Amino acid sequence: MKAIINGKVIIPDKNGEFITAEDFVIVYEEKIIAVMPKEQFVAADYTEIIDAAGKFVSPGFINEHIHGCVGVDTMDDNKDALLMMSKAQAQTGVTGFLPTTMTYDMATIYKAFAQIQEMQNKVEGAMILGCHMEGPFINQQQKGAQAAKNIIKVDFSLIEPYKDIIKIITIAPETLTDDEFTRQCQANDIIVSIGHSMADYAQARLAIDKYGIKHITHLCNAMTPFHHRKPGIVGAALDSDANCELIADNVHVHPAMQRLIYKAKDNNNIILITDSMRACMLGDGESELGGQKVYVKGNLAALADGTIAGSVLTMDKAVDNFAKNTGADLAEITAMVTKNPAEELGIYNELGSLDAGKQADIIIFDDNVNIAKTIIKGRTIYSVD
């Protein structure tokens, strides 16, 4: 057996809310065996002991919206791309992710789906948990960095061949005439999300309340904004129990808006994401997204016309930013990148918390969320030591 000692352990309390507890030891192999008081710990019983040295010990992060990083992208016709993404994500505390497709022609999207399906059990870092399909069923007026020429109307038959790999699909709900598409998706455990949309408040609430769309793609970005007379999608999201993705890079959403969202939403309905593109983790320079040139400077990735084009955010930095911007407790924010996405994806019984019997996906980080160690299925995948 293996053990992690001397950490500030982030675990659920009796009500399921994440808290930080000291004087506990994590015992694990491929799965978590126990979270026990340190007075019960006997060093001689263990083959490997990790000293967290006062750092936080947390479930691994889940990134449910990521296009790429370290020079590669989900849409690349290259199996090594997903391998590279998997390893790089582990360095940022991510132990599971949804490679995210873009608005290409369906033949190219199918190639990406097939590649994700093939590589799902072959990656050596963060696990591939399925994919997030962002487009092509979006609104041209809110395409962002997506290619307008490939935007089409919703059609479940187009995604049916890969319904088992698709976990989230982003659509513009104002293009729907009824709830047939959403019902078909929900019958196949596909989460439908509002994004890249011109829906007004009433249309968004119809989608949420009647069509059962309970997910918002990168809240505030590529959607109708909040106005006191026209609340738009942002208003509908804040005025409902929909789960809201949030890019906390301080570029996509101002820190003050992050605070307002935190105050308005139940913390169980916020999911931090990166929405990162291939330039993530590479520094400043020229890059590419969806066949378009992107220019990166600091935290901003943009097209030549200034349109924000994905992010260069990593999940560890997202957690740290949100903590500093809102003053929220790190344990509470950790739930936004572990428990919340795991519950939404229907896998919280398997991972997403440090409960006995769950997969041993564990990370160790300091007060500034610098990742010291990433453990996946009981194996140390990344360590700064």
Distance from C-alpha of 358 to C-alpha of 353, rounded to nearest angstrom:
7
Q: Cis bond leading into 136, ω under 30°? A: yes
Q: Is 259 annotated as a binding residue?
A: no
Q: Is 218 annotated as a binding residue?
A: yes
Q: Give the chain's end-to-end CA distance (angstroms, integer).
A: 21
User: Residues near 216 by Cβ (< 8 Å), separated by ≥ 6?
Assistant: 193, 194, 195, 223, 233, 237, 242, 243, 244, 245
Q: Is 310 annotated as a binding residue?
A: yes
> What are the C-alpha distances in Å from 11 to residues 8, 28, 34, 174, 377?
9, 15, 12, 40, 18
What b-and-e string marks burial along 120-147, b requiring 16 or more CB atoms within 10 Å of the CB? beebebbbbbbbbbbbbbbbeebbbbbb
Nearest-10 crossing angle of helices 315-326, 255-264: 80
Interior angle at CA 112, CA 120 and CA 115, nearest 5: 35
What b-and-e string marks burial along 12-25, b requiring 16 or more CB atoms within 10 Å of the CB? beeeeebebbeebb
Q: Is 17 annotated as a binding residue?
A: no
Q: Is 275 a catalytic residue?
A: yes
Distance from C-alpha of 124 to C-alpha of 88, rounded to nearest angstrom:
10
Rounded to the nearest angstrom, the gap between the alpha carbon of residue 217 and the centroid of all alpha carbons in its chain is: 10
Which residue out of 76, 249, 275, 316 is catalytically annotated?
275
Q: Is 229 annotated as a binding residue?
A: yes
Distance from C-alpha of 339 to C-alpha of 203, rounded to nearest angstrom:
29
Closest CA to 218 of 54, 66, 326: 66
Residue 275 sits at φ, ψ, to 5 deg, of: 50, 35
Q: Is 81 annotated as a binding residue?
A: no
Distance from C-alpha of 181 to C-alpha of 158, rounded to nearest angstrom:
11
* DSSP-derived pairing of the beta strands 68-69 and 72-73: antiparallel
Q: Is 145 annotated as a binding residue?
A: yes
Q: Is 221 annotated as a binding residue?
A: yes
Q: Is 278 annotated as a binding residue?
A: no
Q: Any idea which residue has 């053990």 for tokens?
A: 3
Which residues sit in the known binding site for substrate? 145, 221-222, 229, 252, 308-310
Which residues sit in the known binding site for Zn(2+)? 134, 196, 218
Which residues are known to be catalytic?
275
Which residues sit in the known binding site? 134, 145, 196, 218, 221-222, 229, 252, 308-310
